[in-house]
Amino acid sequence: MRSMTAVALITFPMILACGGGAPDLAAPNTFSEAGVSFSYPGNWSVEREPDVVDGIPMQTITVSTANDGILNILSYKGQMAMTSTSFADTMMAELPVAMHDLMGDSMEFRVRATSTTTRTIAGAPVIGDRRAFSLVLFGVDVPHTFEVFTVRTASHHVVLYQQVSDEELVGDEAGFDFVYSTLKVD
């Protein structure tokens, strides 16, 4: 599987973004491509990136909030199963390296806590991993929360992971739950 560093570097611009408002649940949009469908807040955006890794076709769907949050949905067929813990461990190991490579000594990464969390995804409760961490840039501490869940359907493995600053988490949480509750994978 490709390195999570690329994901971390894509994520970085979102980490420092400014707030853009509450999720617009009154006028949602719908995403439906390549066997994955869900609704998402009207003021959020979605991009899909198909890929083939080790001969396995997969896709990453990035849902960007109006604030600084992201929700990625990684969907693939095949035998390459991941657990939420192994995925979270990989991200937490690679994110500080990527941030240091990008920002040098002006950026510090601090893990604050590790726990489990539960969300309702596609109508069923799913237990995942939650990692609280801080990015310290030029002495300013910005707490973040990273959550990851894995789901197995009849034909796909799905990894869902979200990252958002704690300041924006309260506002974005309803939007994340909206996406999770409407998710369908063929």
Domain count, the chain: 1
Would you state the pLDDT for residue 98?
86
CA distance 169 to 29: 21
Domain that includes residue 126, residue range:
5-185
Q: What tokens were used for 47?
A: 């991009």
- DSSP letter string, 62-93: EEE-SSS-EEEEEEE-SS----HHHHHHHHHH
pLDDT tens by residue, the chain, 186 residues: 444 444 443 344 444 445 578 999 999 999 999 889 999 999 999 999 999 888 888 899 999 999 989 999 999 887 667 899 999 999 999 988 888 888 888 888 899 999 999 999 999 999 999 999 998 888 899 999 999 999 988 888 999 999 999 999 989 999 999 999 999 998
CA distance 129 to 1: 20
Would you state the pLDDT for residue 44?
98
The CATH number of residue 128's host domain is: 2.60.120.1690
Would you state the pLDDT for residue 107?
83
Burial of 42 (0-12, 13-18, 19+ CB in 10 A): middle
92-96: long-range contacts at Cβ-Cβ below 8 A with a sequence spacing of 24 or more? 92/131, 92/133, 92/146, 94/3, 94/4, 94/5, 94/8, 95/4, 95/8, 95/11, 95/133
Would you state the pLDDT for residue 6?
40
CA distance 83 to 104: 31
Would you state the pLDDT for residue 11?
47
Would you state the pLDDT for residue 108?
86
How many Cα neighbours within 13 Å face the side chain of 116? 9
